[in-house]
Structure 1
Amino acid sequence: MLINQSIIPDIKAIIANAQDKAIRAVDTERTLMYWNIGKRIFEEEQQGKDRAEYGEYLTKYIAQQLEPDYGSGYSKRQIELFRQFYRTFPIANALRSQLSWTQYKTLIRLDNQDQRQFYIAEAVKNNWTTRQLERQINSSLYERLLLSNDKESVLAVAKNEKLPSDAKEIIKDPMYLEFMGLKREASYYEKDLEQAIITHLQDFLLEIGNGFSFVARQKRIHIEGDEFFVDLVFYNRLLQCFVIIEIKTTKLTHQDIGQLQMYVNYYDRIEKLPTENSTIGILLCADKNDAVVKFTLPENAKNIIASQYKLYLPTEQQLLEEVNKELEKREDSYFTNEKN
């Protein structure tokens, strides 16, 4: 008797789907339970005459009463987290069922409300795991996007209130590739970095931005008898266009920009469908001179982006310095335009 061989994979998929839904349902109820505990603690705390002192006493007392029966999940530290959870997210209906308690614990530590809203929207939209959410926060994704965009635009794209109209709204500069495990002190050939990207493709897709899918590696193109190889080709469904990435492990030169522009022109004229938008080229480089990039490209050019890569996550001080440098650049540009 012949049996359809797809029945077992189908049943396994049904089981896995049901198990996933059950786990999510349990975690949603657990999150609501912690929120309600936090609310009750907050309400009780408001009745104390000296709130700071009473609040400290209250969380300690509750932990002493609950921990013996319910375990370390109700320690003083955890009780304080429940209270902070409610104070940070005071509206129960605003809680997102797609987010787990561990993700909310990560979000609680963010002080800036816009920053929290951004990471909530991105985590829900991209179905991030807790590890992915923590990695994006630790790599300062929000701040990096703010370096080349305004706050309103960054939040609007994250919340799906608008589609990105410019590649810079989703492509970051710099890009942090610490997940590849390469030592920053060492020198690498371009093929080494390319191979590391392919090996860690899922993490790389998460880093370069929303809506990317992998198309080809070392894509061969022929132009009137000459043969060329494009390092990496992606497609972005949000921008509705091909995205070509050329890797340069040395400082960027104007010749590199010219080469990438040729590849972009080829894709626009040969590969692109009439319904698709113009191809975007990204030069992923170890170092760059922004002035060289600016003067090599036509004014207001948007289809070539130079993004520096770094093999380690920034410290808060490094990030602050980058933000301040960008703000100074914008101020100088503003005053220059005013004079003109």
Structure 2
Amino acid sequence: MSDRNIELQKDFISDIKKIISSARASAIRSIDFERVRMYWRLGERIFVEEQEGKERAEYGSFLIRNLSASIEPEFGSGFSYRQLAFCRQFYRTYPIMNTLRSQFNWSQYRLLIQIDNEDKREYYELESANNGWTGRELERQINSGLYERLLLSNDKESVLAVARKQRTPELPTEIIKDPMVLEFLGLKRDATYYEKDLEGALITNLQSFLLELGNGFSFVARQKRILLEDDEFFIDLVFYNRLLRSFVIFEIKTHKITHADIGQLQMYVNYYDRNEKTADENPTIGVLLCADKNNAVVKYSLPEENKTIMASKYQLYLPTEKQLLTELKREMDDLE
């Protein structure tokens, strides 16, 4: 058989494999969505039956417990009291079946219905759909307080407008989060390590880091070498954001940042603006990813019209809701 025929045979086999894989994926999605529809119908039926009770709260609990005891032995743990309670909550949260998203499975909807705040729930639903998050990725974003962290530097309306695709982000603060949560690195919060170690861990976990960075990021370079006359410098990490249409430079500091750190990053940003970016691209963004920062030092080390240099603290653990609220209050106090 000639080389040409061998290549054609390989292409043919590859196409067949793609057809099979695509069909299997579609079948799984179809089964997952039928499960979602089943739980919605169960929730609707439970809710309608519940309204017949005179003391609804007590009757509802009794109804679900009795129903679970009747059907769980035959149909399994998918119909436990807790699961059936989720079904009722599911229907009450999404009372119109046609609004359900066919790409979502039950685990994703179960996470969403546990979010009481409607704006917050809508944000996670839209972002999950826009970015194709799995159930695990959605859970991680909720647990890391993504919505609250974006609100630290943005108003609610702009955050939702971006998620609804009603507007394109224009400022770094609409995408770059502060703090950034890097719990996926598995580093101990009290460990001492060098900047190169943190950088290496980020590259090793690049997919997770891109998920934390958010919409529109792609990796460009690590330890990007630049030569200024006889002196050479190395930029820690370089990304590109297609929504902002600009390069995004990250410098990693495992200490509390100083004005000298900010000056170094400003030099790198200036270099990229003058040598790398094209005329139709927006100015380069610089981010100091640091262990700690002094907002006043950052503020007075930069010109008042600065819109391209940012400092973002990193956390090696998932924040609690209390920590996020405290951080939000502190940021608002700094703006006053």
TM-score (ref. length: structure 1): 0.95
Instruction: Tell me the distance in 1 between the aligned counterparts of 2:32 and 2:264.
Output: 51
| Matched positions, count | 331
Shift in Å, 1:111: 0.9
Instruction: Tell me the distance in 2 between the aligned counterparts of 1:13 and 1:169.
Output: 38
> Which of 105, 109, 132 is the equivalent residue of 1:127?
132
Q: Which moved more, 1:42-51 or 1:193-202?
A: 42-51
Shift in Å, 1:300: 2.7
The residue correspondences of 1:234-245 to structure 2 (distance < 5 A) are: 234-245=239-250
Residue 276 of structure 2 is matched in structure 1 by 271
> Which of 242, 245, 251 is the equivalent residue of 1:246?
251
Residue 113 of structure 1 is matched in structure 2 by 118
Shift in Å, 1:69: 2.1
Instruction: Tell me the distance in 2 between the aligned counterparts of 1:7 and 1:210.
Output: 36
Deviations 1:62-98 (A, max 9, x none): 2122212211111111111110110111121211112
> Which of 205, 213, 224 is the equivalent residue of 1:208?
213
Shift in Å, 1:142: 0.4
Q: Does 1:143 align with 2:143?
A: no
Q: Does 1:291 align with 2:296?
A: yes
Q: CA RMSD in A?
A: 1.1
1:69 partner letter: E
Task: Give the structure, 1 or 2, with the largest relative contact order (CA under 8 Å, sep 6 or more).
Answer: 2
Instruction: Tell me the distance in 2 between the aligned counterparts of 1:154 and 1:303.
Output: 19
Shift in Å, 1:40: 1.1
The residue correspondences of 1:169-184 to structure 2 (distance < 5 A) are: 169-184=174-189
Q: Does 1:58 align with 2:84?
A: no
Q: Does 1:104 align with 2:91?
A: no
2:260 partner letter: Q
Deviations 1:104-127 (A, max 9, x none): 011111111101000001101111
> Which of 72, 80, 85 is the equivalent residue of 1:75?
80
Instruction: Tell me the distance in 2 between the aligned counterparts of 1:227 and 1:11.
Output: 51
2:23 partner letter: A
Instruction: Tell me the distance in 1 between the aligned counterparts of 2:104 and 2:85.
Output: 20
2:123 partner letter: F
Instruction: Tell me the distance in 1 between the aligned counterparts of 2:19 and 2:202.
Output: 33
Q: Does 1:22 align with 2:33?
A: no
The residue correspondences of 1:143-162 to structure 2 (distance < 5 A) are: 143-162=148-167
Residue 338 of structure 1 is matched in structure 2 by none
Deviations 1:184-212 (A, max 9, x none): 11111110000000000000011112110
Instruction: Tell me the distance in 1 between the aligned counterparts of 2:78 and 2:18.
Output: 33
Secondary structure in 2 matching 1:213: strand
Q: Does 1:164 align with 2:169?
A: yes
Residue 315 of structure 2 is matched in structure 1 by 310
1:36 partner letter: R
Shift in Å, 1:52: 1.1
Deviations 1:252-287 (A, max 9, x none): 011111111111111111110111111101110111
Shift in Å, 1:27: 0.8
Shift in Å, 1:224: 2.3
Residue 337 of structure 1 is matched in structure 2 by none
Deviations 1:123-168 (A, max 9, x none): 0111111111111101100001001100000111112111001111
Shift in Å, 1:24: 0.7
- Identical-pair percentage: 65
Instruction: Tell me the distance in 2 between the aligned counterparts of 1:179 and 1:194.
Output: 13
Residue 233 of structure 2 is matched in structure 1 by 228
Runs of 5+ unmatched residues, structure 1: 334-340
Shift in Å, 1:223: 1.9
Secondary structure in 1 matching 2:238: strand
Residue 325 of structure 2 is matched in structure 1 by 320
> Which of 195, 199, 204 is the equivalent residue of 1:199?
204
Deviations 1:28-59 (A, max 9, x none): 11101110110111111111111012111211
Instruction: Tell me the distance in 2 between the aligned counterparts of 1:9 and 1:228.
Output: 45
1:232 partner letter: L
Instruction: Tell me the distance in 2 between the aligned counterparts of 1:281 and 1:8.
Output: 47
Shift in Å, 1:180: 0.2
Instruction: Tell me the distance in 2 between the aligned counterparts of 1:170 and 1:84.
Output: 32
Instruction: Tell me the distance in 1 between the aligned counterparts of 2:28 and 2:251.
Output: 42
Deviations 1:218-262 (A, max 9, x none): 011122232111110000011011111010111101111111111
